[in-house]
Amino acid sequence: MSKQIRDVWRVLARSPEEQAEPEPETSSVGIAPNDPLVAYLQSARGVVELDRLELESPALDELKEAGVKMAVPLVAQGELIGMLNLGPRLSEQEYSVDDRALLSSLAIQAAPALRVAQLVRQQKEEARRRERLDQELRIARLIQQTLLPRELPELPGWKVAAYYRPAREVGGDFYDFVDLPDGKLGLIVADVTDKGIPAALVMATTRSVLRAAAERIVSPGEVLQRVNDQLVPDIPDNMFVTCFYSILDPQSRTLQYANAGHGLAFRRTDEGVTELKATGMPLGLMPDMQYEESEVQLTPGDTVLFQSDGLAEAHNSKREMFGFPRVKQLMADHPGGAELIDTLVAELENFTIDGWEHEDDVTLLALECVREGASAAKAESKSSSIKVHAAFSISSQPGNEHLAIDQVTQAISELDLAPDRLEKLKTAVGEATMNAMEHGNRYREDQPVEIRVQTANSKLSVFITDHGGGQSIPEPETPDLEAKLEGEQSPRGWGLFLIKNMVDDLHVTADDRHHTVELVLDLEGGKHE
Amino acid sequence: MSETQLEVSIRVEGELAIIDLQGEINAFAEAALINAYMDASSTEAKSLALDFTDVDYINSTGIALIVSLLAKARKDKQEVLAFGLTDHFQNIFEITRLSDFMQIVPDEAAALEKA
């Protein structure tokens, strides 16, 4: 650094107390990105005298007006990142050639330093923002999970199945069951607009208000009316709640229902699939709304499917929508409740696997009126509920198995696994993710590993999917340690063997594009107790 | 994701050379582990012990590295002990049968006794 520049630095670095002169007045000038001055400064070499510049530029006029005589562009990597603006010299003399040379050298040295400082600041802000989002996400997820029912209702002659999968950003879906007088059952499926903590809070309020109304009022339409009136004054302006509320009388097999702007419910009979229609505005938008009420007589073998819009409105990588017609068709082809939900979930996974962005929560609730005769045979098969605790993807980079382990651990914290079982699962998740990144995706960063954590029928499953279809995953074999120690075999090859021994069950499936490894833990006691 | 390195240091306690391991035993630990073995086996000490007290992660590649180390030790007729394993790691060593080829003891005192 030349002596001159060192001197300038020293002046710039002086604290205000040290400065003999009072600080010059500063004013700020905003420059629009499309102002011709930007393009000019970007390509200018060194100091620019503003008085000599003829440009149709509002910024230039403003700078001149502010008394700026000279501008020194600070350019780093071809990008204008700032400028030094100087007014007239206090000595009232013109700037000399030396002054200009000094300013030019200063700009050349200061620009990269300024750029680094800007990048550091950006990165810090980004990190803070991400941390805050993660934290919010955790809270929202926690609220939502606490509020969803832990058990499904058990009614003789009926089977209830439920599926819930949160979106990455956690939407406001919820479902609930309310025990009513005379053995009746209230079924609620609702969706709060918006995501994250605001949605979770409105969801919590709506749920309490709904439960309270359902316990006091017999008619579904009046329940929604009451809830609407209570929500309108309190709900934030841009938010509302859609809700399908129905009451089942298990004895007479009648289902009364009302709908507050929620997605369609379908009924499947042997004749085909019909919509359960009833009109009504979403809750929380306008006061004094009426809700149409309808009733349907169910017969054994019928299934009613309640759903949030997350399924029908899911998009694939080609921006096609899953759509209600597809849901309807699948329902027509697949009788039953739990089986239907399994089919819908599998179809959704197939549909979205290449553009796997979980835009919205998916909630499915199936109510099945068990066929006479079949009820005895099927009495064993209890109501089943699939709950997805997390679904996420991670990019294929060495070391990212730790992200998988951390996220899975966080997702199942509410299951309270015994510490040794948890450690084993973590090891299995780490190994399976490493295999997926290394062998399946060959560490290509554009090919992520998709991970889904769900519980169903007292089993915890972690599905780990890669993009390495076509080649088969070998059967896990017990490695020959003696041969490895003698140097007759590679010391490697422990992954699958380890996974198999860490979990209660291991399933490997493949199609021509993907492998999926399913790690299963039995939640009602397993072999690794 | 940063690639966590294994930190290794060697100290000699009487007849025992102890390799203190700290961090993760994964693919990035290869050089550190092999060098540590070479250094430790070139000391005067009769036996060698791996201290796992501060190890927080071992994956299948890490197991392969320990197998390589045991293979070398076998060639050199060098006894290897291990201590400071969590229940989970001990379980992994049993499942993989690594525990059949290296004596596992609870702590340093027990290792010194065996040496």
Enter the ipTM: 0.92
Cβ–Cβ of B65/A403 closer than 8 Å?
no
Is the CB of A128 inside 8 Å of chain B's CB atoms?
A: no
Q: What is residue A381's predicted lDDT score, i.e. its pLDDT?
A: 45
Residue A528 is predicted with a pLDDT of 43
Structure tokens at A39: 């393009």
For A402, which residue in chain B has the nearest alpha carbon?
B1
DSSP A277: -
What digits encode the pLDDT tens for the residues A290-321?
999 999 999 999 999 999 888 888 888 778 88
How confident is the model over A371-394, as a mean pLDDT?
64
Answer whether A485 sits within 8 Å of B70, measured CB to CB.
Answer: yes
Cβ partners under 8 Å of residue A98, min gap 6: A4
Strand A515-522 and strand B7-13: the pairing is unpaired
Residue in B66, B67, B90 to test binding to A, most A beta-carbons within 10 Å: B67
Q: N- to C-terminal Cα distance for chain B?
A: 40
Find all residues with CB under 8 Å of A151, minimum gap 6, and list them.
Answer: none
User: Which pLDDT score is estimated for A357?
Assistant: 63
Tokens of A171: 């939407």
Nearest-angstrom CA–CA distance, A493 and A27: 67
Q: Which of B3, B74, B88 sits opposite A485 (nearest CB)?
A: B74
> Which residue has tokens 């065996």?
B114
Considering only the beta carbons, identify the residue of B27, B68, B74 that sits closest to A491: B68
Q: Do B96 and A484 touch (CB under 8 A)?
A: no
pTM: 0.53
Residues B33-90 pLDDT 10s: 999 999 998 888 889 999 999 999 999 999 999 999 999 999 998 999 999 999 999 9
Residue A89 is predicted with a pLDDT of 84
Please judge whether A399 and B2 are an interchain contact, meaning their C-beta atoms are less than 8 angstroms apart: yes
d(CA A165, CA A155): 25
User: Element (H or E) spanning A124, and its range?
Assistant: helix A97-147
Task: Name the 3-class secondary structure at A164.
Answer: strand
Q: Which residue has the tokens 């769900």?
A: A454
User: In terms of C-beta density within 10 A (0-12 exposed, 13-18 middle, 19 or more buried), how is residue A45 classed?
Assistant: exposed
What DSSP state is assigned to residue A283? B
Which position has the token pair 């399908």? A244
Strand order through the sheet with B7-13: B7-13, B16-25, B47-58, B80-83, B103-105
Distance of CA A398 to the CA centre of its chain: 23
For residue A446, CA distances in Å to A354, A394, A397 come to: 11, 10, 10
Q: Which residues contact A101 (CB under 8 A, 6 or more apart)?
A: none
Q: Minimal Cα–Cα distance from A472 to chain B, Å?
A: 20
A508 and A525 in contact (C-beta within 8 Å)? no
B59/A398 CB distance under 8 A: no
Is there a contact between A485 and B71 if contact means CB atoms under 8 Å apart?
yes
- pLDDT of A359 > 80? The answer is no
Sheet holding A79-86, edge to edge: A48-49, A70-76, A79-86
Confidence of residue A525 (pLDDT cuts 50, 70, 90): low
Mutant choice from A485, A527, A529 vs B, greatest count of B C-beta within 10 A: A485
The token duo for A234 is 């309190």
Predicted confidence at residue A295, as pLDDT, reads 94
- Element spanning A172, H or E: strand A172-179
Question: Which residues of B lie closer than 8 Å to A, measured between beta carbons?
Answer: 1-4, 27, 57, 59-61, 63-65, 67-68, 70-71, 74, 86-88, 91-92, 95-98, 100-101
Q: Please report which confidence band the pLDDT of residue A12 belongs to, taking 50, 70 and 90 as the band edges.
A: very low
Judged by CB atoms closer than 8 Å, whether chains meet at A399 and B87 is answered as: no
Q: Is residue A10 predicted with pLDDT exceeding 80?
A: no
Contact between chains at B1 and A430 (C-beta distance less than 8 A) = no
Give the per-residue pLDDT at A26: 62
Mean pLDDT of A14-19: 42
Give yes or no for residue B99 having a pLDDT over 50. Answer: yes
What is the rounded CA–CA span in Å between residue A48 and residue A43? Answer: 11
Tell me how close the Cα of B11 comes to any Cα of chain A, in angstroms. 26
Q: Is A179 on the interface with B (CB under 8 A)?
A: no
Task: Please give the pLDDT value at position A441.
Answer: 87
Cα torsion angle, A346, A350, A351, A355, sign: positive
Q: Average the pLDDT over A333-352 and give the result.
A: 86
Q: Are the beta carbons of B1 and A495 separated by less than 8 Å?
A: no
Question: What value does the mean pLDDT take over residues A410-416?
Answer: 88
Average pLDDT, chain B: 91
Considering only the beta carbons, identify the residue of B60, B71, B91 that sits closest to A495: B60
pLDDT at A208: 93
- Does the CB of A466 have a partner CB in chain B at under 8 Å? no
Q: CA of A253 to nearest chain B CA: how many angstroms apart?
A: 53
pLDDT at residue A354 above 80?
no
**What is the CB neighbour count within 10 angstroms for residue A415?**
14
Distances (CA, A) of A37 to A29, A58, A79, A85: 13, 9, 13, 13
Cβ distance A479 to B96 less than 8 Å, yes or no, reads yes
Give me the phi and psi of B33, to 5 degrees please. Answer: -70, -45
State the count of interchain CB pairs (< 8 A) between A and B: 70
Instruction: List, in sequence order, every beta strand (DSSP E) within A197-264.
Output: 241-249, 254-260
In this complex, the residue of A420, A485, A497 whose CB is nearest that of residue B67 is: A485
How many residues does this entry show for chain A? 529
Beta bridge partners of B105: B83
With CB atoms and an 8 Å threshold, state whether B1 touches A402.
yes
Distance CA A44, CA A108 (A): 12
A420–B98 CB contact, under 8 Å: no
**Of the partner residues B4, B71, B97, the one whose CB lies closest to the CB of residue A487:** B71
Percentage of residues in chain B with pLDDT exceeding 70? 97
- Using DSSP bridges, classify how beta strands A79-86 and A70-76 pair: parallel, antiparallel or unpaired: antiparallel
CA A53 from chain centre, in angstroms, equals 51
Asked if residues A184 and A214 have their Cβ atoms less than 8 Å apart, the reply is no
Asked if A399's CB is within 8 angstroms of B3's CB, the reply is yes
Residue in chain B lying closest to A428 (CA):
B59
Structure tokens belonging to residue A223: 């329940």
DSSP annotation of A92 = -
* C-alpha to C-alpha distance for A333 and A34, rounded to whole angstroms: 58
Report the mean per-residue pLDDT for chain A.
85
A264 neighbors A324 (Cβ within 8 angstroms): yes
> How many helices (H) does chain B have, and how many strands (E)?
4, 5
Chain B residue with the nearest C-alpha to that of A479: B96
Least CB-CB distance to A423: which of B60, B68, B88? Answer: B88
Tell me the average pLDDT across A422-428: 95
Q: What does the pLDDT read at residue A135?
A: 84
Chain A neighbors of B87, CB-CB under 8 A: 420, 423
Res A195: pLDDT: 80
Compute how many other C-beta atoms are within 10 angstroms of the C-beta atom of residue A417.
17
Collapsed DSSP state (helix, strand, coil) of residue A98: helix
Burial track A144-165 (b if 16+ CB lie within 10 A, e otherwise): bbebbeeebbebeebbbbbbbb
What DSSP assignment string belongs to A453-511? EEEETTEEEEEEEES-TTSPPPPP----HHHHHTTSS-S---HHHHHHHHSSEEEEEE-
Is there a contact between A179 and A249 (Cβ–Cβ < 8 Å)?
A: no
Nearest to A424 by CA among A525, A479, A504: A504
Q: How many residues does chain B have?
A: 115
Assign residue A406 a region: left if phi > 0, alpha if psi is -120 to 50, beta otherwise?
Answer: alpha
Q: Would you place residue A254 in the very low, low, confident or very high pLDDT band (cuts 50, 70, 90)?
A: very high
Which neighbouring-strand residues pair with B55?
B23
User: A158 falls in which pLDDT band (50, 70, 90)?
Assistant: very high
All residues of chain A having their beta carbon less than 8 Å from the beta carbon of residue B1 are 397-400, 402-403
CB contact under 8 A, A398 and B3: yes
Evaluated on CA atoms A412, A413, A418, A419, the torsion sign reads positive
Cross-chain Cβ contact B88/A397 below 8 Å: no
Distance from CA of B1 to the nearest CA of A (A): 6
Number of C-beta neighbours around residue A282 at 10 A: 23
Helix or strand run (H / E) with residue A294: strand A293-297
Backbone angles phi, psi at B7, to 5 degrees: -100, 135
